[in-house]
Chains A and B, each alone.
Chain A
Amino acid sequence: MTELGLHDVIDGLEVLICGLDDGGRIHVFNRSCERLTGLPRENAIGQSWLDLFASGGRSEHVVSLWAQAREDGAVGPFEALCRNNRSLRWQFSRLDPRHAPPVALWAVGIDVTHEREALVRARELQRMGALGNLVSGLTHELRNPLNGALLQLTLAQRTLARHHDVEDSLASVDQAAAEIRRVSSILDDFLVFVRPQPVHLERTSVRRIVTRAIERSAFKARAAGVTVGLEPGSEALAEVDASRVESATFHLIANAIDAAAAAPDHIVRVTISVAGNSIAIEVFDRGAGLPTDAPIFEPFFTTKQGGTGLGLSIVQRAAADHGGVVGHERRDGTTVFRLELPIVGGLTN
């Protein structure tokens, strides 16, 4: 095969192919390499292969493999992290330089980034599954005594409420009951966070879902002296997992209640809007807002005393599992959280 013919074949292959001289400089750089690196061939020729394809960690290991390939003729497969953070699996094959001078070594690779990511996800799911079982068992064990304690406190509340001059005692009992509800809510959050949940899409009224989320937050709103209102509108039908969207909306409203409790108006406003194939649930409050660039969607990040930092992670996961997004912005002194979901054909995990 002529040199021109060889290069045509190399260019047509989906795998990454680099021809290197004895010093490790690139002399052949096929189109797959161009696509992956975004580097035109003319710019890549003459560059160090190690700098271009193995600079992202474990580079010493790759250098030793490189040296081995020069001695032994073939090494691999091995993985290296490219400059643009792609995971590549390579094999070195030594070639007599007389055959295609100055190329003395061929580096043949494939992009395994997706494979690596899938592996990491699978391991994460496995880890979360094990953690989920642990938390599920723990939650189960804790909820029984919590339920007994809360029922006993409720009984005490109602008994005390029939008597005069017991306001202080009643307030203490109320506070204890509120704390138990908070512990229960934290347990719920942990359970939802650590246990991977499948998405069950069904055509349903998003307005009804949001109404239920508002009802669920009623106790918290009352305790904080905040009014939560849903603006009028249509039923807004969409194919969503009602339970997941309700939970996500509840967390957005619960956060807004905390913020609105310190705001002058003590109001949380919720809207539902439809545009194209998307439906958006927006939650507004006139609280102090969030610190700029705070990693609010990171698990366990919280700006609230006593918060678990899991609520917005749960919202983000619900959005992603539906093929939607969640975001926030500050508009004229108002914090707006927006949960946007596809009306039809959302992704499922």
Chain B
Amino acid sequence: MPKQAAGPSGAPPARNPCGAEQTAVCVTASLRSARALLVLQLRMLIVLVSPYPSERDALKQLLANEGYRVTAVAARQQAVELADRARADVVIADAQVVGLDGAALVGELAERNVRAQLILLCSRATRWFETRDFVCLPKPVDLALLHRHIDDLMADRVA
């Protein structure tokens, strides 16, 4: 996935996966408008890992209502095994269980050759930012922003 420069909360910067700006914008826009279809076609699997039952249950339900396949677990090891076994596309992890830098989880996923994209939910961040390995969203989670990031990940996979 081509990574963008870190930016504050709000819309993620426009991606340019095809190299030609106009074409990329059109393709991305089309993909976004057809998100529901893509979700069904790709059957994207999201593994959600959070130690907080309230957060875990509600987010699982909200994402499931959007059409995503979601499996929720409480511990990192469970998440890694599940992501490996089910070939997860996205892992949404509470920073509490993976550490603020996400390095341990990134390393464990890489060891198992799992190409899932990582989104961290972080209570210490005040704005969203992106690194080479993950996107970090501040709590309370802005669901629109979360959906946009998932959409971008989907767009990148298709492109």
Q: In this assembly, does B34 line the interface, its C-beta being within 8 Å of a C-beta of chain A?
A: no
Nearest residue (CB) in A for B13 is: A208
Q: Is there contact, CB below 8 Å, between B58 and A154?
A: yes
Find out whether the CB atom of B65 lies under 8 angstroms from the CB atom of A158.
yes
B143 touches A146 (CB 8 A): no
A180, A211, A243: residue with the most chain B Cβ atoms closer than 10 Å? A243
CB distance from B68 to the nearest CB of A (A): 15
Whether a CB of chain B sits under 8 angstroms from the CB of A279 is no
Whether, in the assembled complex, A273 has its beta carbon less than 8 Å from a beta carbon of chain B, the answer is no
How far, in Å, is B56 (CB) from chain A's closest CB? 8
Binds A, one of B23-31, B39-47, B78-86, B123-131: B123-131
Which chain A residues border B59 with CB–CB below 8 Å?
Answer: 151
Known: A144-B55, A155-B61, A155-B62. A212 touches B123 (CB 8 A): no
The contact size tier of chain A is 20 to 34
A299 vs B126: C-alpha distance when bound (angstroms): 20
The answer to whether B7 and A212 have CB atoms under 8 Å apart is yes
Q: Is A186 an interface residue (CB 8 A)?
A: no
Q: How many residues of B contact A (CB 8 A)?
A: 27
B2: CB under 8 A from chain A? no
Q: Which 10 pairs, one residue from A and one from B, show the smallest C-beta to C-beta distance?
A: A148-B54, A151-B58, A143-B123, A212-B10, A147-B139, A148-B55, A215-B10, A143-B139, A147-B140, A150-B140
Q: Are A146 and B140 in contact (CB-based, < 8 A)?
A: yes
Which residues of A are found within 8 Å of B16, using beta-carbon distances? none
Q: Which chain B residue lies CB-closest to A212?
A: B10
A312 contacts the other chain (CB 8 A): no
**Cross-chain pairs A/B with CB under 8 angstroms, 8 sampled:** A141-B123, A144-B139, A150-B140, A212-B9, A243-B8, A246-B8, A246-B10, A247-B8
A140 to B124, CA, bound (A): 6
A148/B58 contact (C-beta < 8 A), A139-B123, A158-B65, A243-B127 known: yes
Please measure, in the bound complex, the distance between the C-alpha atom of A215 and the C-alpha atom of B127, giving whole angstroms: 13
- Contact bitstring B124-159, A, C-beta under 8 A = 1, else 0: 101100000000001111010000000000000000
Contact A151 B10 (CB under 8 A): no
Name B residues whose Cβ lies closer than 8 Å to a Cβ of A.
7-11, 52-55, 57-59, 61-62, 65, 94, 96, 121, 123-124, 126-127, 138-141, 143
Chain A residue contacts of B127, Cβ below 8 A: 243
Let me know if B7 and A191 touch, CB within 8 A.
no
Contact partner, B140, options A184, A215, A216, A247, Cβ 8 Å: A184
Q: Which of A151, A180, A215 contacts B11 (CB 8 A)?
A: A215
Given contacts A140-B123, A147-B123, A192-B126, contact A152 B139 (CB under 8 A): no
Of A143, A146, A191, chain B has the most CB atoms within 10 Å of the CB of A143
Which A residues are closer than 8 A to B by beta carbons? 136, 139-141, 143-152, 154-155, 158, 180-181, 184, 188, 191-192, 211-212, 215-216, 242-243, 246-247
Given contacts A140-B123, A212-B8, contact A180 B140 (CB under 8 A): yes
Q: Which residues of B contact A247 (CB under 8 A)?
A: 8
Given contacts A154-B143, A212-B10, A243-B8, contact A147 B121 (CB under 8 A): yes
A155 touches B7 (CB 8 A): no
- For A211, list chain B residues within 8 Å (CB): 10
Inter-chain contact A191/B121, CB cutoff 8 Å: no
How far is the CB of A150 from the nearest CB of chain B, in Å? 4
Q: How many Å lie between the Cα of A144 and that of B138 in the bound state?
A: 10
CA distance A212 to B53 in the complex (A): 32
Residues in A whose Cβ lies below 8 Å from that of B52:
144-145, 147-148
**CB atoms of B54 and A143 under 8 A apart:** no
Give Cα distance in the complex from A151 to B59, angstroms: 6
CB distance from B50 to the nearest CB of A (A): 9
CB of B124, distance to nearest CB on chain A (Å): 5
Please give the distance in Å from B94's CB to the nearest CB on chain A: 8
Q: Which chain B residue shows the least CB distance to A180? A: B140
